[in-house]
Chain A
């Protein structure tokens, strides 16, 4: 039997508003995924290392502070350097429309804005993520 999907939920940057990160972590766990929540204030380096160590299939970032334009490029670069470019990367939070194409071009596959039902995120992961071998 295939193992469960492994998801690292991370909260990068200085912001401490973790309601969204915690709710999504729990919803994914209830949906049968293996969820690792990194806790607060993770640098892109720490998140990439967590993805490697935890054999993550999915990395979900919660960013509300506007720091995504700095964090996402750095994280994508680090994931690539670690050979993790097939990990599905998602961002949830407050992301201005103008930034969405730039993040997608970097390889962020899903961007989820406030009010997104958990079911939509679960369905997106189930459609796009693969258990990495």
Chain B
């Protein structure tokens, strides 16, 4: 019986729980998420008294930005792919589109990502290895040969040289006869998370931010349906952050871009609707779902209240999700199919707008065509067989999920306060604040793994000695040789005077405040290479070097 001073939960603890615990103690003293957040035994109505009871499609969108969830349109199944030469990757795209993929997503190799041509000394051994090599417009023409850019949407993971690669894409579209005004897709273009986590930066933070605001302004006028940035938590998480840090740093990065856009004289509602996000789907199921739900609410409120955005298109946070590469194991690789399926389900239950599922062999190599297809099938099974897409936000109202959502929001806002006090995200990065926070979390997780407080099946428990090897995609040096030969031929056959002239023009534009997209487009059209264009800007701005934080 409940006493007068007792809540129902307290009565339950006294009458039912305590005797049960005496008979059968729990498996551990404390239970935590993969991020180390303590989890209580039970959540009840008493934990969620302050839950917002908003509806999907309505501010602040905790339950989703579409009133019909996935009943109207399923998420976009967008598989990230790229390797070797543009010819190799073009063939893979055609395979993915034939298998029912509904969007393309380009993975570039490290030389392209770092703005180096294949003939640079640092490109040694890297060309075509982690993605496709694109050195000039000629490669971009090959990459999308036979794929109508007016009919598909393309996401491109490119950051420091985003303006150059995007310009190449625009010129290919133009040559195919597609109007820039109807083109749709995304460039990642998120330099802040490069400084924070993935470290593929070229120029110092401030000129890097200027390129991004130039792209915002250019697209608002010329390519209005293009997502100009995909503010990314994915890499922050892969670098070892907690779910909360991923959420907080990503959204704070988003606020930083908005602030810089406003400071550059843009109207919030002209460019914010084209900002999209990219989150990780890690293994702790409910923590991830709470993260996505909190993200929508925080963004909506920040856009309306902090920046005075009036359009609901500015308030609605749209995001892509990728399952956690870092969770995949080289040991017993078939287990990765199961991990990925659970992570993908978390993304879907969290209301993702598009999704990439990793392939089972990605702790070993880039995926084969077979494993990439299996990864896509995983999404299709969730979409068409599981029934979860029949209803909007099925976990809304779960005491646990609502409480986690609320805690995620509070935690993120506390990080915002800290970063605001430092003067914003660029300043915080220059001080090494997010970098240090992530390094701490990643080391803490490693220690928990070593102590077996966190179990990874097949790695620190349930280990199998005779793990049979699987066939992997092995990328040899032929892609590098092909790309080098093409580059040499290009430099012989293009109009090198025009190249020099446009590069000089780009160099001088970088010393002023004029928008850099037009001079970059001019250089792209005469087949200047990514390396040459980035070098022109390196001449003016120099290169960033970080002080490593261990």
From A13-21, A52-60, A79-87, give the one contacting chain B: A13-21
| A14 & B365 in contact (Cβ 8 Å cutoff) | no
**If the complex has contacts A65-B129, A118-B450, are A14 and B114 also in contact, measured as CB distance less than 8 A?**
yes
Question: Which secondary structure characterizes the binding site on chain B?
Answer: loop
How many of chain A's residues touch chain B, expressed as a range? Answer: 35 or more
- Whether A14 contacts B111 by the Cβ 8 Å rule is yes
Give chain B residues whose Cβ lies under 8 Å from the Cβ of A15: 110, 126, 130
Contact partners of A41 in chain B: CB under 8 A: 122
In whole angstroms, what is the CA distance A97 to B470 when docked?
A: 10
Taking the complex as formed, is A128 at the interface, i.e. its CB lies under 8 A from any CB of chain B? no
Given contacts A14-B122, A43-B122, A65-B110, are A19 and B364 in contact (CB under 8 A)? no
Q: How far is the CB of A121 from chain B (nearest CB, A)?
A: 11
**Residues in A neighbouring B331, C-beta threshold 8 A:** 115
Chain B interface extent, by class: 35 or more
B446's partner among A29, A39, A43, A118 (CB-CB below 8 A) is A118
Q: Are B363 and A114 interface neighbours, CB within 8 A?
A: yes
B130, A66: Cβ atoms closer than 8 Å:
yes
Chain A CB within 8 A of B12 CB: no
Task: Kindly report which residue of chain A lies nearest to residue B365, judged by CB atoms.
Answer: A96
Which one, A23, A35, A39, A96, contacts B364 given CB within 8 A? Answer: A96
Q: How far is the CA of A23 from the CA of B438 in the complex (A)?
A: 11
- Complex Cα spacing A41 to B116, Å: 13
Contact of A65 among B130, B201, B450, B546 (CB under 8 A): B130
Q: Please name all residues of chain B whose beta carbon is closer than 8 Å to the beta carbon of A22 when the two chains form the complex.
A: 439, 442-443, 548-550
Chain B neighbourhood of A71, CB < 8 A? 124-125
Q: Which of B124, B239, B456 has the most CB of A within 10 A?
A: B124
A98 within 8 A of partner (CB): yes
* A94 and B363 form a contact (CB under 8 A): yes
Separation of A27 and B443 alpha carbons in the complex (Å): 8
Whether A3 is near chain B, meaning CB under 8 Å from some CB there, is no
User: Which stretch of B192-200, B243-251, B517-525 is in the interface?
Assistant: B192-200
A27 touches B110 (CB 8 A): no
Known contacts A65-B110, A66-B129, A39 near B546 by CB under 8 Å: yes
- Would A23 and B330 be within 8 Å (CB), given that A14-B122, A16-B200, A66-B130 are in contact? no
A23 to B260 alpha-carbon distance, docked (Å) = 34
* Neighbouring B residues of A114 by C-beta, 8 Å: 329-330, 363
Q: Which residues of A contact B253 (CB under 8 A)?
A: none
Contact B365 A94 (CB under 8 A): yes
- Which residue in chain B gives the minimum CB-CB distance to A95? B364
**Could you tell me the distance in whole angstroms from the C-beta of B546 to the nearest C-beta in chain A?**
7
Q: What per-residue 1/0 map shows which CB atoms of B203-241 lie under 8 Å from chain A?
A: 000000000000000000000000000000000001110
Task: Please give the residue numbers on chain A whose beta carbons come within 8 Å of chain B beta carbons, in ascending order.
Answer: 13-19, 22-23, 25-27, 29, 35, 37, 39-41, 43, 65-71, 94, 96-98, 113-115, 117-119
Closest 9 A/B residue pairs (Cβ): A16-B199, A70-B125, A67-B125, A66-B129, A14-B110, A115-B459, A39-B548, A114-B330, A14-B114
